[in-house]
Structure 1
């Protein structure tokens, strides 16, 4: 039986959208070059933090995703946990309005901040261990009747032969659409044995770049981060990894001697503005859902809701 919808991409956007559509009773097929565990989404540190994405609906999408992640934590969904922590800036600034509305919010005192930081706030945020999270999402899509086709290379989106195509191709949209506004940005993380940190720390910066963040995931602590615009090879760079650990160790000395367990590298699909919209080409409908920069996980459930509404409207439901 033919599918109602073909989704291109099996990262967090593709899987979340596929799950939402399958829950509506639609026949979903997901086509991707890589299985979920090998996508760029699997390499993400994945703390809920929507600040690096641009779109008028970012606030709505982020709030919806926070709500879902909080519920999934209560349900024991693999890989999802709510963690207390601090976001801090090296420059004087006003706390963003979105932060003031979060559970656990309060302003930091200077004494609570690491050296070099002058402003910060406490809050509670979802942190997602992406490999088990993606594996569970894939399982749920399959249980709802969704089909997967991996190893399927597309040279152009026009090759996706279906009446309704959902484009969740991430950085691949640069060539598939093609969309020259999509720029790959390589990011890296260092996995170390957690020396005992139970709270996250995230450096607030105006744009992606060299920053410090520490994301506890049980016995593992993820250290970040980096941003290399134009680099499309996800393989980690040892020099960048060394610099990440050194930066984190400058403010949290116990990290300097912690055992390194592994490295992660992935590509963020940077775009001046997220593209979530319907396009009609030669009698076929394409719903684009890409260009989330560093906020794909943080916006995933909200964006999937909007895509689902568009598809149901096309089907007269």
Structure 2
């Protein structure tokens, strides 16, 4: 049975904050609660501080087969299955007779074939038969590519293994807008503001209440989905676990036919890889990329741009996007963003060190969901459902 209405504040309007809001507003245990989102950046904003719009992106789980990755595997699998259901069955908002093309544009999601190649041995390439890929039985149309014949398309030079599967690609700006529209339609309120976190977590909770106009009102929970910004108000031992993973990409005209990735490229730094990601319904694609740990530079690295473009050309990852006469891509923009990394992986838990009241902070439960690094989108639905479970458990509901 759903509980009586309570008020919940969410800090952050990126993929984690918006997915969390949607899950809270659609779960039987929490759908009657009042949701207020506080954020300095919202869908439509373009700032290096706002990570979510700069993603590639597509569904590809980054975790392995170890026991320590079990929860992340659950989050990723739930997200893949939910996105698949939305695309196949709709969400009830698209109108009768909505086509798949119309649905892709509305949601910012779309099915695309993914070809993924490795140039170096690793956990996932053991046996070269797919046995190291935990999600081989989760995704649709999984298979190992024949590198010798290349019957399913081009094979990058130096690749030792390749897989294919049906992925869900996304257009981040549009998908964020889609989630934003849904949560507003379900009654969520947005306060665009920069919460003062200079006096720590308790100060942040108090200022969030003030800016939300709810001082003196019982706020049941404060959900921290602030990404890298969490380092500004958490204790030093936790702050030290957070770090940026810089990404740099190139937005080009045209949607690639397939999602293509090549990692562990012989002769290339491990922090660099090549990928081509179509953004469904947008008429554009992303070329990348890199994962540069502890790099906060917002400046575009022109030499990296050159290596990305030359690499994509050399390995023929999306020949269909090159001009037939000049052989060049039509470049629309260069992009820099910062994935919110955390030592030990994402933190998704109830704050238990509030000082008084069994962990409450300023009389309010605090639930954290940050540090998702490059997995914010592909685990977004599953992680949000975990936050709902935590909130419901605090509300006396069964987890």
Q: Is the 8 A contact 1:72 1:80 kept in 2?
A: no
Q: Secondary structure at the match of 2:83?
A: helix
Q: Is the 8 A contact 1:226 1:244 kept in 2?
A: no
Q: Name the structure 2 match of 1:14.
A: 17
Q: Name the structure 1 match of 2:107.
A: 78
Question: 2:54 matched to 1:43?
Answer: yes
**Worse-superposed segment, 293-302 or 29-38:** 29-38
Question: 2:310 matched to 1:274?
Answer: no
Q: Name the structure 2 match of 1:134.
A: 176
Question: 2:241 matched to 1:181?
Answer: yes
Q: Name the structure 2 match of 1:114.
A: 156
Q: 1:234 to 1:9 in 2, by over 3 A?
A: farther
Instruction: Normalising by structure 2, report the TM-score.
Output: 0.74
Q: Secondary structure at the match of 1:172?
A: helix
Aligned pairs, number: 315
Question: 2:263 matched to 1:199?
Answer: no
**For the residues of structure 2 that align with 1:231 and 1:238, how far apart are their CA atoms?**
16
Q: 1:46 to 1:197 in 2, by over 3 A?
A: closer
Q: Name the structure 2 match of 1:32.
A: 39
Q: CA deviation at 1:313?
A: 1.6
**Worse-superposed segment, 198-207 or 290-299:** 198-207
Q: Is the 8 A contact 1:278 1:287 kept in 2?
A: yes
Q: Is the 8 A contact 1:154 1:176 kept in 2?
A: no
Instruction: Normalising by structure 1, report the TM-score.
Output: 0.92
Q: Is the 8 A contact 1:187 1:266 kept in 2?
A: yes
**For the residues of structure 2 that align with 1:243 and 1:153, how far apart are their CA atoms?**
39
Q: CA deviation at 1:263?
A: 1.9
Question: For residues 158-179 of structure 1, what are the alpha-carbon distances to aligned partners after superposition, in whole Å with 9 as ceiling and x for unaligned?
Answer: 2223441111111112222242
Q: Secondary structure at the match of 2:334?
A: strand
Question: For residues 182-206 of structure 1, what are the alpha-carbon distances to aligned partners after superposition, in whole Å with 9 as ceiling and x for unaligned?
Answer: 1011101101123x73111112459
**For the residues of structure 1 that align with 2:351 and 2:306, how far apart are their CA atoms?**
44
Question: 2:231 matched to 1:169?
Answer: no
Q: Is the 8 A contact 2:63 2:72 kept in 1?
A: no
Q: 1:8 to 1:55 in 2, by over 3 A?
A: farther
Q: Is the 8 A contact 1:235 1:266 kept in 2?
A: no
Q: Name the structure 2 match of 1:228.
A: 292
Unaligned runs of 5+ in 2: 91-102, 207-218
Q: CA deviation at 1:30?
A: 0.8
Q: CA deviation at 1:150?
A: 1.3
Unaligned runs of 5+ in 1: none
Q: Secondary structure at the match of 1:298?
A: coil
Q: CA deviation at 1:247?
A: 1.8
Question: For residues 76-98 of structure 1, what are the alpha-carbon distances to aligned partners after superposition, in whole Å with 9 as ceiling and x for unaligned?
Answer: 25200011121110024233332
**Worse-superposed segment, 148-157 or 104-113:** 148-157
**For the residues of structure 1 that align with 2:270 and 2:370, how far apart are their CA atoms?**
18
Q: Is the 8 A contact 1:233 1:267 kept in 2?
A: no
Q: 1:313 to 1:147 in 2, by over 3 A?
A: same
Structure with higher Rg: it is: 2
**For the residues of structure 2 that align with 1:197 and 1:36, how far apart are their CA atoms?**
25
Q: Secondary structure at the match of 1:225?
A: strand
Question: 2:273 matched to 1:211?
Answer: yes
Q: Is the 8 A contact 1:91 1:118 kept in 2?
A: yes
Q: 1:125 to 1:30 in 2, by over 3 A?
A: same
**For the residues of structure 2 that align with 1:235 and 1:203, how far apart are their CA atoms?**
25
